[in-house]
Amino acid sequence: MIELKNVIKKYPNGIVALKGIDLKIEQGEFAYIVGPSGSGKSTLIKTLYREERVTSGIIKVNEYDLMRMTHKQVPYLRRELGIVFQDFRLLPRLTAYENVAYAMEVIEKRPEEIKSRVMEVLEMVGLKDKIRRYPNELSGGEQQRVAIARAITNKPSILIADEPTGNLDPDTSNEIMDIIERINQQNTTVIMATHNQSIVNQYVHRVLTIQQGRLVSDQEEGGYRYED
Ligand SMILES: Nc1ncnc2c1ncn2[C@@H]1O[C@H](COP(=O)(O)OP(=O)(O)OP(=O)(O)O)[C@@H](O)[C@H]1O
């Protein structure tokens, strides 16, 4: 579960990117974060995986209280989370297989176990036949599939996606959304920032709208439109 109470984020330059966010997301939910450019979507997402520390308020992710967490505890929080970005962020010198294997927790795992899990997630995203390709030998959609496989390899309870279809054409975006939907159906919470209104209309879920650092709308179904 994710819970935010009166979360305020002020950057060192004085910009207050989050102005008192109250929010609860239950395990297994799928929530979009939408809103105009600069409204605070990425900031909100970054606070969840502790890339940014919030200035005040309460922020909890599963059993972790992010305000009280020490630096040493951050890797434990990150184990609960899979994170996917618009620009894929694959390691260019590693193959698709290696990118996924590199991210896998290997402690106390036998080599066959590691191989079987990596193949399982690559198969799940439909890339089993391209495991030896390097990122520059894959299309954008294929790179995002590898990034998603990497994000779920440690079976996170929450998948965080910041504009996962931002660099993809409409057909490829739908293919990626179908994969994210399937992950959500396995009771993984999905939190996804997006500008893509057609996806929000097509794959109907909870829609959290942020404007100027405030949560202005929280709807169970799609349909809310903002002026960008
Ligand atoms: N590291 C930073 N330092 C200072 N200000 C920042 C930083 N990151 C973001 N901001 C500011 O905080 C506000 C919210 O930015 P944020 O990136 O969260 O918006 P966003 O809704 O994700 O925008 P976009 O849709 O364009 O990605 C903006 O005014 C932005 O300029």
64-65 β-sheet, strand order: 16-25, 2-10, 56-61, 64-65
Residue-wise pLDDT for 9-25, tens only, equals: 999 999 999 999 999 99
- Which pLDDT value is given to residue 220? 76
40 lines ligand 1 (CB under 6 A): yes
Looking at this protein, which amino acid is placed at residue 72?
K
Average pLDDT along the chain: 93
Best of 32, 39, 160, 194 for a ligand 1 pocket test (most atoms within 8 Å of beta carbon): 39
Query: Is residue 221 very low, low, confident or very high in pLDDT (cuts 50, 70, 90)?
Result: low
Distance (Å, whole) CA 220 – CA 148: 25
Task: Ligand 1, residue 43: give the atom nearest the CA.
Answer: 18
Ligand 1 center to residue 167 CA distance, Å? 19
Question: Can you tell me the distance from the alpha carbon of 138 to that of 96, in angstroms, rounded to the nearest whole number?
Answer: 9
* Ligand 1 pocket, residue 35 CB under 6 Å: yes
Name the pLDDT band for 104 (thresholds 50, 70, 90).
confident
* Residue 225 pLDDT > 60: no
Nearest CA to ligand 1 atom 2: 11
ipTM of the complex: 0.97
Q: Is the pLDDT of residue 106 over 90?
A: no
Ligand 1 atom having least distance to the Cα of 11: 4
How far away, in angstroms, is 9 Cα from ligand 1 center? 11
Q: 184-216: per-residue pLDDT in tens?
A: 999 999 999 999 999 999 999 999 999 999 999
Q: Is a pLDDT exceeding 60 seen at residue 84? A: yes
Cβ within 8 Å of residue 63, ≥6 positions away = none
Say whether pLDDT at 224 is over 70: no
pLDDT score at 49: 94
DSSP assignment of the chain: -EEEEEEEEE-TTS-EEEEEEEEEE-TT-EEEEE-STTSSHHHHHHHHTTSS--SEEEEEETTEETTT--GGGHHHHHHTEEEEETT----TTS-HHHHHHHHS--TT--HHHHHHHHHHHHHHTT-GGGTT--GGGS-HHHHHHHHHHHHHTT--SEEEEESTTTTS-HHHHHHHHHHHHHHHHTT-EEEEE---HHHHHHS--EEEEEETTEEEEEESSS------
Task: Check if the beta carbon of residue 211 is closer than 8 Å to that of residue 18.
Answer: no
